[in-house]
Amino acid sequence: MAIYFDQLPKESPFALPKPDVYKAKIVEAEMRKSKTTNPDGSEKPPYLNLKYQLTDHTGKNCGAIYDILAESDSSVVQYKIGRFLTACGIPLVGAMELADIAKLVLNKEIAVDVNHDTKGQTPRAQVDIFTREAYYPVGQFEEIYKLAHAEEETTEAAAEAPADTSFMQVPEGSAEEVEY
């Protein structure tokens, strides 16, 4: 196979998706064993590793990100799991193992808030669980996208609308009637 130098990409294909709301297809969902241990030396429980293929509001492919769901007593982690299950259409009734959730969510499409984790040496995209609600049913994507971009739309509309200058107009003949 020949390599056509003029057809090689000029930009890195590993660019981070910008912080935004995306449609996310779950293309991988597998249980993994933690490589670290708890401070007391005990083994951490397995976690659900998820890979999302992201698509923006125009339908453009925006790359992939990874996400983790783990069992925890933390209210933030439990909130995250609840939002994820709701977005996937899984009723929050009864009990279920993470391994069972992995089987149910593969190839589902949801909407996710994405931001950047800048704590490490290189920034990486992640699900944003603190700005809004993190996960949404895909049917709510357009509504959530519009809400997330409401300020931009208002600014654009104001820039496009002609300025109302009627308050600056002096009626004809009124200058003659004013006495100083």
121-148 residue pLDDT tens: 888 999 999 989 999 999 999 999 999 9
25-80 residue pLDDT tens: 999 999 999 888 888 888 888 999 999 999 999 999 999 999 999 998 899 999 99
Average pLDDT over residues 107-132: 93
Flag whether the pTM goes above 0.85: no
Q: What CATH code would you report for 15-33+42-148?
A: 2.40.50
CB atoms within 10 A of CB 55: 19
Residue 153 pLDDT grade (very low, low, confident, very high; cuts 50, 70, 90): low
| Per-domain boundaries in the chain | 15-33+42-148
The torsion of the CA quartet 85, 87, 91, 95, rounded to 10 degrees, works out to: 0
CB atoms within 10 A of CB 141: 20
